[in-house]
Amino acid sequence: MIKKAINTSGKRKTAVARASVKKGKGLIRINSKPVELYEPEIARWKILEAIKIAGDLVDKVNIDVTVKGGGFMSQANAARTAIAKGLVEYTGDPSLKIAYLDHDRSLLVSDSRRKEPKKPLGRGARKRRQKSYR
C-alpha cells in the first residue's frame, strides 16, 4: 500500500514541522539541510531516533521537513513526530506503528499543550497581585 507522496505534521509547544515523504533513495532533509549536518547534535540524535527505529524502510523514501517556531529542542521533537507519522502512513506497516508506540508515544502523537491565556488582576495566567492587610 505505497502511495505517491504523504504530507504530515508534528507539533511541540509553538514549533510546527511539516514533513513530505515520497519515493526516493533515503535522503532526509530538515529545512533544506541534510539531517547529518543538523545542529545542535543533541537535537539531531532526537530526530534520528525515529529514523533508526524504522530501519531499512527509510532507504526507499526521501523525507523533506520544514520546521518553524519554538526553540531548537521543540523543533527537533516536532520534526521527529512528523517523520514518524509520515513513515507509518506511507508504508502502512502496523508493526512499525507498534515499534514507535513502544519506544515513545510522542513519536506519533503531537503535543497538545498550549500556553494558558493571561487573566486580569495578575501578571500571568495564574499569578495574582499580592494582597496587603496593613
Is residue 123 assigned to a domain? no
User: Which of 18-22, 28-32, 43-47, 108-112 is least confident?
Assistant: 108-112
Which residues are CB-neighbours of 7 under 8 A, at least 6 positions away? 18, 19, 20, 21, 86
Flag whether 34 is in a domain. Answer: yes
Predicted pLDDT at 41: 92
Domain count, the chain: 1
Domain membership of residue 18 (yes or no) is yes
70: left (phi over 0), alpha (psi -120 to 50) or beta: left
The whole-number pLDDT of residue 93 equals: 86
* Residue 120 belongs to some domain of the structure: no
Please give the pLDDT value at position 110: 86
Question: Can you tell me the mean pLDDT for 14-25?
Answer: 93
The range of the structural domain enclosing residue 75 comes to 5-107
The rounded percent of the chain whose pLDDT value lies above 70 is 98
Averaged pLDDT for residues 29-58: 91
Q: 3-state DSSP call for residue 47?
A: helix
- pLDDT, residue 83, reads 94
Is residue 131 situated within a structural domain? Answer: no
CATH number of the CATH domain containing 75: 3.30.230.10
Residue 133 lies in a domain: no
Determine how many CB atoms are found less than 10 A away from the CB of residue 99: 16
Is residue 81 within 8 A of residue 75, CB to CB? The reply is no
Residue 121, domain member (yes or no): no
What is the chain's mean pLDDT, rounded?
A: 90
pLDDT exceeds cutoff 80 at 3: no
